[in-house]
Amino acid sequence: MNCVTRAKSAVAWVFCIACICYGVNGQSALKAYCFEFTWLGPTFTNETIVNNATCEEIPNSPSVCQDPLVYTYDGSPPNLTNMWVDSELRTRTTCELSKGEVCAKWTFEYNNFLENVTYLCTKVTVDSKWPMTSGCKVQNRGGRRIEVCACETQPGTSGSLVFPCNAGPPSLHQAAPLLLLAVVGVLTLLTR
Ligand SMILES: *[C@@H]1O[C@H](CO)[C@@H](O)[C@H](O)[C@H]1NC(C)=O
Ligand SMILES: *[C@@H]1O[C@H](CO)[C@@H](O)[C@H](O)[C@H]1NC(C)=O
Ligand SMILES: *[C@@H]1O[C@H](CO)[C@@H](O)[C@H](O)[C@H]1NC(C)=O
Ligand SMILES: *[C@@H]1O[C@H](CO)[C@@H](O)[C@H](O)[C@H]1NC(C)=O
């Protein structure tokens, strides 16, 4: 290895380490993130026209919705690993977890089919009484199943960004009675 390559690789190393420790676009390995977006469900594909739509533009204003709105080419749930690996997508579809908040995931199902899923940083209150910080609750209503899960991503210690805990397919297993969920969210946008 000559001097120039060595110098270049030293620079590359420093750059890589900087990327790893500070992430890109201002995300830091020392902080905790959650996914934050709504996947519109299997009825939305690349054939659907959803030009830069936002939650506010959805008919009947869904009670749980978080911009950006995301859909996929074939209507399957988005691959969160791929979204996380792509730094631009990652910054658009994640939020920084603040104290007192959790990474939440709302899953709507009808007759065992996924209808849509919303991910966000928020506070979840059970029965208007208790803060929910972990686990899942399910509400069944007329063939419809609504599941809410909460978790807290632990800030990184290893020097790399920590994959948000509210990822993963819906668990839809535990059943517990439930009335009630508050959502706090802000709105922006993205398509696809
Ligand atoms: C949607 O994606 C499919 C491939 O999954 C492609 O064949 C089709 O042309 C696309 N349609 C549009 C409108 O982009
Ligand atoms: C969506 O929004 C972006 C940025 O606001 C804009 O550049 C783009 O043209 C918009 N696309 C459509 C189809 O309206
Ligand atoms: C998700 O599905 C539920 C049940 O069909 C519906 O009421 C709600 O409007 C949908 N949310 C979004 C963001 O489309
Ligand atoms: C998501 O994509 C990654 C890499 O492209 C792949 O290894 C993984 O199996 C995919 N996950 C799902 C649930 O399809």
Look at residues 44, 65, 45, 63 and name the one whose alpha carbon lies nearest to residue 54: 65
Which atom of ligand 2 is nearest to 191's Cα?
Answer: 1
Tokens encoding 109: 């199902």
Does the C-beta of 188 come closer than 6 Å to ligand 2?
no
Beta carbons of 71 and 50 less than 8 angstroms apart: yes
CA distance 163 to 25: 16
Of the chain, the percentage scoring pLDDT greater than 90 comes to 47
CA 52 – ligand 2 centroid, Å = 6
Task: Tell me which residue has its CA closest to atom 1 in ligand 3.
Answer: 116
Does the C-beta of 49 come closer than 6 Å to ligand 1?
no
CA distance 188 to 66: 8
Q: Compute the half-sphere exposure of residue 89: CA atoms within 13 Å on the CB side of its CA.
A: 14
Ligand 1 pocket test: which of 46, 49, 72 has the largest number of ligand atoms within 8 Å of its C-beta? 46
What value does the mean pLDDT take over residues 148-156?
Answer: 91
CA distance 165 to 176: 21
CA distance 104 to 38: 12
Which residues face 137 on adjacent strands? 148
Which atom of ligand 3 is nearest to 65's Cα?
Answer: 13
What is the β-pairing status of strands 144-151 and 33-35? unpaired
Does the C-beta of 51 come closer than 6 Å to ligand 2?
yes
Per-residue pLDDT at 133: 93
Tokens encoding 5: 């390559």
Per-residue pLDDT at 25: 55
What value does the mean pLDDT take over residues 39-66?
Answer: 87
Task: Summarize pLDDT for 59-102 with one digit per residue, the tens.
Answer: 888 989 999 999 888 999 999 999 999 999 999 999 999 999 99
